[in-house]
């Protein structure tokens, strides 16, 4: 009996009104999907820029640390190969080695005078860079689901609109399938609950 009622509704005078409501719902879901896709694309771009800046800063600090290590090694070698150094000269070299090692430690772990969460040593920059890379990758995995969801929702709206003119229920059924699939893809774009092959 329920099927007969549905069939009568689809073929009756209220058909266009119900399809209009259905198209309106598709348009709402499409708007949400478009917003999610735009946010995912912006997040991916922003995180990529932040990650690139972090890794550039990391590389600059790492190069500085390597220079300090070479200089400290050179001075330590000088202490070993020049036994005739005066006590003052030896003390000056040892003081410089200690200073380089302190700078090395600060570059590696951050300035101990700064709160731990605000430090920008190589260890912290490495962790930050990895986190930003992961956030960028997550946003990039979300984007295709929104893209395909958006396309399917647009197709569903067009097919539903055509079915009003042609009175074709097959087009309406295909529109329903496209609409449900598009909505599920959009939902998966927000949650990444399922990983589909070839997407993200």
Domain ranges (residues) in the chain: 2-191
Q: Among residues 42, 25, 19, 32, which one has the least CA distance to residue 149? A: 32
- In this prediction, residue 68 carries a pLDDT of 95
The four Cα atoms 40, 44, 49, 53 give a dihedral, to 10 degrees, of 120
Q: What is the C-alpha separation between 124 and 105, in angstroms, rounded?
A: 13
| pTM (predicted TM-score) | 0.77
Below-70 pLDDT ranges, the chain: 1-13, 200
Q: What is the CA radius of gyration of the chain?
A: 32
- In this prediction, residue 16 carries a pLDDT of 87
- In this prediction, residue 6 carries a pLDDT of 57
Question: Buried (b) or exposed (e) across 140-159, using 16+ Cβ within 10 A?
Answer: bbbbbbbbbbbebbbbbbeb
Q: Which residues contact 179 (CB under 8 A, 6 or more apart)?
A: 22, 26, 29, 152, 153, 156, 157, 160
Q: Which residues contact 170 (CB under 8 A, 6 or more apart)?
A: none
């Amino acid at each position: 009996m329920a099927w007969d009622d549905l069939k009568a509704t689809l073929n009756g005078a209220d058909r266009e009104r119900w399809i209009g409501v259905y198209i309106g719902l598709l348009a709402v879901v499409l708007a949400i999907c478009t917003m999610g896709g735009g946010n995912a694309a912006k997040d991916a771009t922003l995180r990529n820029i932040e990650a690139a800046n972090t890794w550039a800063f990391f590389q600059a600090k790492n190069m500085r640390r390597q220079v300090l290590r070479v200089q400290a090694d050179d001075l330590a070698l000088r202490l070993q190969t020049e036994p005739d150094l005066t006590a003052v000269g030896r003390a000056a070299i040892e003081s410089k080695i200690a200073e380089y090692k302190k700078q090395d430690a600060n570059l590696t772990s951050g300035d101990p005078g700064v709160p731990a969460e605000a430090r920008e040593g190589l260890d912290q920059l490495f962790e930050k860079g990895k986190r930003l890379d992961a956030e960028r990758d997550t946003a990039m995995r979300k984007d295709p689901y929104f893209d395909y969801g958006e396309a399917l929702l647009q197709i569903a709206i067009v097919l539903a609109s055509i079915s009003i003119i042609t009175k074709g229920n097959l087009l309406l059924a295909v529109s329903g399938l496209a609409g449900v699939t598009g909505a599920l893809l959009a939902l998966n774009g927000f949650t990444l609950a399922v990983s589909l092959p070839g997407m993200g």
